[in-house]
Structure 1
């Protein structure tokens, strides 16, 4: 804990917000770390991000959809996730439009122009403020996360995510900059210089993220930034590779374009253009027996022992893309040679004989042949299924957990051979053989005995990992909290959060 001590007289902290000089500077991970710190210090934190743009989503216990980043932060805080933590989620369907999720429910597709220019931005801002207010009645402090850069002048007056939200929350706001990207002085100074007087008053300090080397070498840089901005540099966080936290979006996949490796089970996840829910594979990636990599290179995919076709926000366009780039041929060759091929959600649909879209859910293509590996056909529908689920996997009676997010109905043209059986007796997926199957369930690979089934043909001689996925995640959140404590001035942070009326 910091040098500050707290007693029963201090019951409430003001919200804290982490904003950025740009996208992918570490806001989500740092917010998760602070959620764990506040939890360990005896408070009851909860995360909040007004608007996410991501294909990585999750389903709450009450069947509402939200961004995965706030799910991770809620895990770090030790609380169940709820859609109020991320009231607006944008899921890109193509380069020009996104599906809009409001308070956990899909409300339609909009182009970027329609979304950012329409009058209903006022309604969206009202909705996110209401969600924040509901959350702040239950938890303390609220840990807010901004989006992208806070100094986009052409968008600020329509912003519902960054400093307008900080002002509504009364949040102590900290700017995060990624020094590994280069240009940290220009990005920090320029960001602060472009703020209005009112916005500037919200800022309490600067955190420099992803510093390589000895932090003492940046003392002059710290002093210069403080002189330029008038704000304290409260932390210099080191670049780390040994702490594994689920990432918000597919930008992080750039570090996972690895190749096959001898001595391990090589698992290739097909890198779809609209790949969604890549966190489905984090548990598998953390397994020491596995070398998991993402690829759209047919030659590399053919080298893998196991090929996974993941979910997609636009299954038909991604199906067309893998036929055109040779990946579909590589998958079929691998299947015919006896390697393992599985599909999850959109990947399950692609493994079938056909995908049709009579209602134009995904676009103008009405029908496309699938890979033809499984005897199933899918019709996309307007109704979206979002639910958490408990199920048994194949003949194993042990209970598994996962969640569904899809807009398709898949019909099986063969004798039933389900992958999963739900508690209410419903069935999902199709098992062709032990090396070929697909289903709709996201998170199915978070269940240990499913992992063992998948790896069994290849990993019999390899030692099983000792830690459960829950224990692994807890260890990572604690390591993240520790490294933040060691490199951030927590006294200054807490001083900015203490509400004077709470101190006697």
Structure 2
């Protein structure tokens, strides 16, 4: 297989971003490129055109590669449901929920099998695979049964680039320590080093580059300057918050309720394109303030996160805000919380069969959790006289619960398949929906923000087309890599199989 693997000295050193940039860089050069991550752990997922679920990062990397996302790009997705258990999504479908020990003991051989078949599929359909690792490749307590770092490099038979984050300090120790802990045959695969998140004068690091190359015998492929507000979807909500910080203090104050098991927070990413919108996470009642609108995002554990709102007192603030005419949207799990009650009929949300809890009581509805998850891409038109009628939207649904309305005429979206989705009150101020990526629809996002602007008495704005801006960001990221790494050496490393 022709390709490259991006591994890191630790988590959050920039593996995902660099892999995304390489996908676009190589695609722009005319290669048929695919991303790959054997095992992803994230509640931020992406639904493929076939209604299958993969990690959000690989969906983004597929976009950067100019390829259609598929389950072969991320065959194993682990979605944490508690501190002890995760749902295993295997080739896009929910497979089983296991503890960490159970997964390690019972799933390893199955994992190896599906990774191998995925790599074989990708090799037959693409020119180059850009593989992303996870965490560090030298977690000694996990190495004998790992499914995502050097074992995958061996299976794909590709060279490795080791990425280190200079911004966090300890760059030399992290690189040398990682290489020293690799087995000799693993270390031979490391063909290049990348120093990421560099700030300041590169001339001050020349001696450091020379020392690393002399000490390791491995070339430093490049030193990448720190990118502020790069705008590419990250793997966690902290990376999204960094992007949102650039608009703090803007005219529209949008509050997002923090949930311990928050999922698909990429639903909020388009607001980073809106210069007059400030987005902030709310974790405590003291942070609530007086927002112009509130969003309750999706969650992997609706009932547990609803209990978190009750324990922190945020439930009372949200209810009071909505009852006084505040603008509120709940997405997926957030939508379920807005109803009158939630019943875990199958035990799929909490593990307790038949558990019933009261919701926030802001929507006349009841949600029941069933055994089978629904993942599907959908299209439809908005049903809201207060905001915009017949505005077309598309997105995807990922949920176990089914929500039944007691006022069936107050639905939010008329779907193309004849069904309806969500709830919208007559004033347009309280909305609930299962539609992830709702705000990625530029027309809807603009209409909703103009609804807020009108209520505030500020000037309305024309739509910002996020898809075009996203393409610009992928190309800018590729240009950033092209300017700061040795691309000739990179191509040699990818194509020279004899040295791997």
Considering the TM-score relative to the shorter chain, is it more than 0.5?
Answer: yes
Following the alignment from structure 1 to structure 2, what is the Cα–Cα distance between the partners of residues 457 and 145? 41
Per-residue deviation, 1:463: 5.9
| 1:421-462 per-position Cα deviation (integer Å, ceiling 9, x unaligned) | 111111000111311110101001111222123212332434
Q: Secondary structure at the match of 2:141?
A: coil
The answer to whether the 8 Å contact 1:297/1:327 transfers is: yes
**Does 2:243 match 1:249?**
no
Task: Please give the per-residue CA displacement for 1:462-496, whole angstroms capped at 9, x wherever unaligned.
Answer: 46366411101001001101111111111111111
Give the distance between the partners of 1:420 and 1:284, measured in 2 at CA.
Answer: 21
CA displacement at 1:131 relative to structure 2: 0.7
Partner of residue 481 from structure 2, selected from 484, 489, 502? 484
Structure 1 residues 360 and 413: CA distance shift in structure 2, 3 A: same
CA contact (8 A) 1:289 1:459 kept: no
Q: 1:58 Cα deviation (Å)?
A: 1.1
Aligned residue number for residue 313 of structure 1 = 300
CA distance in 2, matches of 1:77, 1:428: 32
Query: Is 1:97 equivalent to 2:97 in the alignment?
Result: no
Q: How many pairs are equivalent?
A: 488
Higher alpha-carbon deviation: 452-461 or 192-201: 452-461
Cα distance between partner residues in 2 of 1:234 and 1:14: 19
**Aligned equivalent of 1:346:** 333
What TM-score, normalized by structure 1, do the two folds share?
A: 0.93
Query: Contact 1:299/1:330 (CA < 8 Å) preserved in 2?
Result: no
Cα distance in 2 for partners of 1:177, 1:410 equals 46
Matches within 5 A, 1:161-176: 161-176=148-163
Closer, same or farther: CA 332–148 of 1 in aligned 2, 3 Å: same
| 1:276 pairs with one of 263, 271, 280 | 263
Structure 1 residues 168 and 107, CA gap change in structure 2 (3 angstroms): same
CA distance in structure 2 between the partners assigned to 1:320 and 1:70 by the alignment: 32
1:249–1:58 distance in 2 versus 1, CA, 3 Å:
same
Matches of 1:259 and 1:15, distance apart in 2: 36
Which residue does 1:9 correspond to in 2? none
Q: Distance in 2 between matches of 1:463 and 1:182?
A: 45
CA contact (8 A) 1:260 1:303 kept: no
Structure 1 position 125 matched with structure 2 position 112? yes
Of 441, 459, 472 in structure 2, the residue corresponding to residue 475 of structure 1 is: 472
1:84 aligns with 2:72: yes
- The CA deviation at 1:227 is 2.2
Q: Which runs of 5+ in 1 are unaligned?
A: 1-12
Runs of 5+ consecutive residues of structure 2 not aligned to the other structure: none
CA–CA distance in structure 2, aligned partners of residues 263 and 129 of structure 1: 49
Report the Cα offset of residue 335 of structure 1: 1.0
CA 1:239–1:500: 2 relative to 1, 3 Å = closer
Q: Does the 8 Å CA contact 2:21/2:481 hold for their aligned counterparts?
A: yes
1:379 aligns with 2:405: no
> In 2, are the aligned partners of 1:256 and 1:294 still within 8 Å (CA)?
no
Distance (whole Å) between structure 2 residues aligned to residue 336 and residue 398 of structure 1: 26
Is contact 1:253-1:294 (8 Å) kept? Answer: no
341, 345, 360: which one pairs with 2:347?
360
Aligned position for 1:3: none
> Is contact 1:271-1:295 (8 Å) kept?
yes
Name the structure 2 match of 1:221.
Answer: 208
> 3-state DSSP class of the match of 2:424?
strand
The residue that corresponds to 1:326 in the other structure is 313
Q: Does 1:110 align with 2:98?
A: yes
- Among 377, 401, 418, the residue aligned to 2:411: 418
Q: Is the 8 A contact 1:430 1:437 kept in 2?
A: yes
What corresponds to 2:29 in structure 1?
41
Q: 1 CA distance for matches of 2:182 and 2:250?
A: 53
What is the RMSD of the two structures over their aligned residues, measured on CA atoms? 1.8
1:464 is matched with which residue?
A: 461
For 1:330 and 1:374, the matched residues in 2 are separated by: 16
The alignment status of 1:146 with 2:133, answered yes or no, reads yes
Q: C-alpha separation between the residues in 1 aligned to 2:311 and 2:370?
A: 26
Deviations along 1:315-373, whole A, 9 cap, x unmatched? 00000001110111111121122210110000000000111112211225511111100
Q: Which moved more, 1:194-203 or 1:355-364?
A: 355-364
Question: In structure 1, what is the Cα distance between the partners aligned to 2:178 and 2:246?
Answer: 39
CA distance in 2, matches of 1:206, 1:465: 45
Matched, 1:453 2:447: yes
SS of equivalent to 1:209: strand
Q: How do residues 1-12 of structure 1 correspond to structure 2 at under 5 angstroms?
A: none
Q: Does 1:397 align with 2:390?
A: yes
Q: Is the 8 A contact 1:259 1:300 kept in 2?
A: no
Taking structure 2 as the reference length, the TM-score comes to 0.94
Conserved? CA contact 2:195–2:222, under 8 Å: yes
> What per-residue deviation string (whole Å, max 9, x for no partner) do you get for residues 42-77 of structure 1?
111010000000000011111111000000000001
Deviations 1:272-294 (A, max 9, x none): 00000000011123211211111
Match in the other structure for 2:144: 157
C-alpha distance after superposition, 1:79-98 (max 9, x if no partner): 11001000000000000010
Which deviations, in whole Å up to 9, do the C-alpha atoms of 1:109-153 show, x marking residues without a partner? Answer: 0001111122x3012111111011101211121000001100111
2:230, 2:243 within 8 Å by CA — same for their partners in 1? no
Matched, 1:15 2:8: no
The 3 A distance-change label for structure 1 pair 294 and 88 is same
